[in-house]
Chains A and B, each alone.
Chain A
Amino acid sequence: MGKRLLSVAVVGLLVAVLGGGCSAKKKGTQAGTEGSGVGEEGLAGGGSLEQYKAGTLGSGEQGPLQDVHFAFDSFELDESGRGVLRENGNWLKDHARAKVEVEGHCDERGTVEYNLALGAKRARAAKDYLVTLGISPDHLTTISYGEELPLCHEHTEECWAKNRRAHFVVVSE
């Protein structure tokens, strides 16, 4: 399993380096084909944990769907967040078969366990709003990474604001 993981990580890295603008879509496709073969690990290719393993997290291509941001210790969607979700919803309507994993993330401040629960709330809030826009809940899964996978590593409000996010990973199209 270790070698398999490594090779997937290397492929992911190559795709990210060489693929340029198409990298997100390629990674999404790869996830769809890798999913069954990798078995229990269930790599989603473009997910934040897989990007972290590959050393590409926060280093570039966001994918077709944009992050939604939150205030400290909050899982409420503000007007800007709802605007992003409406755009993401439009993409999802154009790609009606797409399956998306919604990741909830927090900034580094606060407690690991509480932040994992807060990340779950953030992912759920984003998913629920997409469902109210008409996206099928069957096409949306959620996972929380709490404060574990920051995009940005400085101890500044600017950095923290980037890390407090719901992130959308196209698992298959």
Chain B
Amino acid sequence: MNRLWLWAAVVASVLGIHPRMSAAQMKGSIFGPGTRSYPVAVALLKNLSGPTAADVATRFADIVGRDLTLSGYFKILDRSAYIEKSEASGYTPDSINFDSWSVIGALALVKGAYTLQGDNLTLEVRLFDVYQRRQLSGRRYHGPVSELRRMANKFADEIIGQFTGDRGPFDSRFAFVSTRDGKFKEIYVMSPDEGDLQQITRNQTLNVSPSWSPDSRSLLYTSYKRRNPDLFLIDLISGRETLLSQRPGLNLGAKMSPDGTKIAVTVEDDGNADVVLLDRSGKVIRRLTDSWAIDVSPSWSPDGKQIAFCSNRAGGPQIYVISADGGDARRITFSGNYNTSPAWSPKGDLIAYVSRSEGEFNVFTVKVDGSAPRQLTQAAGNNEDPSWGPDGRYMVFSSSRTGRRKLFITDVTGGSQVQLTHGGGDDTSPAWSRWLE
């Protein structure tokens, strides 16, 4: 397998903002829970490079619009309503007719221009406050035209950062398991705007539990392609695959430590699942759990010092936390008799998990000390497999609310739940990468 996907360097620089126009004073002031449809116009980029067949302008606007919609905070105004045409207008504060944007209801405006020379793309993009007629942010991106999607995802993250105070999560990738191409569970990778979809496995067996290396370059996953459920590591840039663990029985649910040096994985001894730590070559460093009970689904704390996991040592499955050096496990879930799939937030404060009650499975969060369990999904089918975005604010999860299992994004309040994947088949076990650089 050759190179699966590659991100080249996207060089970004900040465009000058007038000193009086402090964006900082805006941050966090516009948005709070409950305000979720801030109207934004995303104008087509102006073409500065003469006639070209590339649909840079449309693609950029579509991807930014899609990301902002996924965030749950914005409403993208229909492009056909825009009065000011990109090719006939400017993209600096003094050359924009702000009245023509406020009259269609836009409170924020994205405008800019691009230059395409051969394969080299330069974007200059700005975010404006329409009411105050001022620039909130500006960025210049330079790189190969194949990186247009990343430039758009980066600017969407910048817009979200301007309005909420925290950078958005969309300059990233999802890995997930899907039956979209047939009856076999294969692993796919895609961009958050549902673009750049790539099928990673094609072995027509069972492939489960993809997870990212912290550098967002490699995937760990478990496959039955050699019949036993073995653990593999695939480098998505070189395409090189390594068989990391092939103990008889399960080699399952592996997660790389935040520093990339260790791998926590579930292995099986005499039918019993325990969590062990491997080094990068697959050699066992130490056993973390050694009980008669099922111990599965390790998830690292962001400082790499602790690991959350699921164990049925008290009867039904519950969430526990253990030091990465071993020792005693501390139970942190106490409501319900079926709590699984822990996912430790990259901010460190919360652990997401799945809880069963009244026959339904829902996504919850709990503080690391076990306090304040909070239900994020309800009365919308079964909701499982939470995985945090790089910002620690958004999560991706799978839900059967529309029939087949699809991926959805929610923020940490559960207040905005937006469908991420569409089409046929079941999409499950999503893993959200860190930011790409």
Q: What residues make up the interface of A, taking CB atoms closer than 8 Å to B?
A: 5, 40-44, 49, 52-53, 73, 109-114, 116-118, 120-121, 123-125, 127-128, 142-145, 148-149
Contacting residues, chain B, for A111 (C-beta < 8 A): 297, 310, 317, 340-341, 354, 384-385
On chain A, the residues within 8 Å of B224 by CB distance are 49
The answer to the question of B346 belonging to the interface, with a C-beta cut-off of 8 Å to chain A, is no
Taking A110-B361, A114-B294, A117-B294 as known contacts, 14 extra A-B pairs with beta carbons closer than 8 A to each other, sorted by chain A number, are A41-B225, A42-B226, A42-B227, A49-B224, A116-B250, A116-B273, A117-B250, A117-B268, A117-B296, A118-B294, A120-B271, A120-B272, A121-B273, A143-B229
Nearest residue, chain B, Cβ from A40: B226
Q: CA A121 – CA B294 in complex, angstroms?
A: 8
A123 to B340, CA, bound (A): 21
Tell me, in angstroms, the Cα distance from A162 to B231 when the chains sit together: 29
Q: How many residues of B contact A (CB 8 A)?
A: 42
Report B-chain residues with C-beta under 8 Å of the C-beta of A143: 227-229, 249
CA A41 to CA B356, docked complex, whole Å: 37
Verify A73–B316 contact, CB threshold 8 A: yes
A110 contacts B272, C-beta separation under 8 Å:
no
**Residues on the B chain within 8 Å of A148, using CB:** 185, 206, 208
**A167-B208 Cα distance, complex, nearest whole Å:** 21
Residues of A within 8 Å of B229, CB to CB, are: 116, 143-144
B: which residues have CB within 8 A of A?
Answer: 183, 185, 204-206, 208-209, 224-229, 249-250, 252-253, 266, 268, 270-273, 294-297, 310, 312, 316-317, 338, 340-341, 354, 356, 361, 382, 384-385, 428-429
CA distance A52 to B226 in the complex (A): 16
**Looking across the interface, which residue of chain A has its beta carbon closest to that of B382?**
A109
Q: Please state if A53 and B204 are interface contacts (CB–CB under 8 Å).
A: yes
- With A120-B249, A120-B271, A142-B271 known to touch, is A113 a contact of B206 (CB < 8 Å)? no
Quote the shortest CB–CB distance from A115 to chain B (angstroms): 9
- 8 pairs across A/B with beta carbons < 8 Å? A42-B226, A49-B205, A109-B361, A113-B208, A116-B250, A116-B296, A117-B273, A120-B249
Given A110-B356, A111-B354, A127–B227 Cβ distance below 8 Å? no
Contact of B226 among A41, A110, A113, A142 (CB under 8 A): A41
Shortest Cβ distance from residue A169 to the other chain B in the assembled complex, whole angstroms: 12
Instruction: Give every chain B residue within 8 A of A112 (Cβ-Cβ).
Output: 208-209, 385, 428-429
Select A117's contact among B252, B270, B341, B382, beta carbons within 8 Å: B252
Contact between chains at A114 and B310 (CB < 8 Å) = yes
Evaluate contact between A113 and B253: CB separation under 8 angstroms. Answer: yes
Given A49-B206, A73-B316, A114-B310, decide whether A124 and B340 contact each other with a Cβ distance below 8 A: no
| B209 lies within 8 A of A52 (CB) | no
State whether B338 touches A121 (Cβ < 8 A).
Answer: no
Q: Are A113 and B316 in contact (CB under 8 A)?
A: no
CB-defined contacts of A116 to chain B, threshold 8 Å: 208, 229, 250, 252, 273, 296
Bound complex: CA A124 to CA B316 (Å): 18
Which residues of chain B are within 8 angstroms of A124 by Cβ–Cβ distance? Answer: 270-272
A121 touches B249 (CB 8 A): no
Across-interface contacts of A128 in B (CB, < 8 A): 271
- B227, closest chain A residue (CB): A42
Q: Which residue in chain B gives the minimum CB-CB distance to A124?
A: B271
B273 touches A120 (CB 8 A): yes
- B209 contacts which chain A residues (CB < 8 A)? 112-113
Chain B residues near A117 (CB, 8 Å)? 250, 252, 266, 268, 273, 294-296
User: Using Cβ atoms and an 8 Å threshold, which residues of chain B touch A110?
Assistant: 338, 340, 356, 361
Q: Which residues of B contact A109 (CB under 8 A)?
A: 356, 361, 382
Given A113-B296, A117-B252; A125-B204 close (CB under 8 Å): no
Residue of B nearest to A144 (CB): B250
Known A-B contacts A49-B206, A121-B294; the reply to A113 vs B272 at CB < 8 A is no
| A73, A118, A127: residue with the most chain B Cβ atoms closer than 10 Å | A73
Q: Give Cα A43–Cα B209 distance, bound, in whole angstroms.
A: 23
Q: How far is the CA of A125 from the CA of B266 in the complex (A)?
A: 19
B94 → A minimal CB distance (Å): 56
Q: CA separation between A113 and B211, bound complex, in Å?
A: 13
A51 to chain B, nearest CB (A): 12
Contact pick for A127, options B271, B297, B317, B356, CB 8 Å = B271
A118: chain B residues at CB < 8 Å are: 294
Q: Identify the closest chain B residue to A111 (Cβ).
A: B340
* A-chain residues with CB within 8 Å of residue B297 when the two chains form the complex: 111, 113-114
Identify which of B183, B270, B384 contacts A52 (C-beta below 8 A). Answer: B183
Give chain B residues whose Cβ lies under 8 Å from the Cβ of A120: 249-250, 268, 271-273
Q: In whole angstroms, what is the CA distance A42 to B354 when docked?
A: 35
- How far apart are the CA atoms of A118 and B209 in the complex, in Å? 16
> B338 to chain A: which residues have CB within 8 Å?
73, 110
Residues of A within 8 A of B225 (CB): 41
Q: Which residues of B contact A41 (CB under 8 A)?
A: 225-227
Q: How far is the CB of B240 from chain A (nearest CB, A)?
A: 18
Chain A residues near B294 (CB-CB < 8 A): 114, 117-118, 121
Bound-state CA distance A49–B229 (Å) is 12
User: In the assembled complex, which residues on chain B have CB atoms less than 8 Å from the CB atom of A73?
Assistant: 312, 316-317, 338
Q: In the complex, what's the smallest C-beta–C-beta distance from B245 to chain A, in angstroms?
A: 14
Report A-chain residues with C-beta under 8 Å of the C-beta of B270: 124
Minimal beta-carbon separation of B249 from chain A (angstroms) = 6
Name the residue on A nearest B253 (C-beta). Answer: A113
Complex Cα–Cα for A49 and B225 (A): 10
Give the nearest-CB partner of A41 in chain B.
Answer: B227
Residue on A with the closest CB to B274? A117
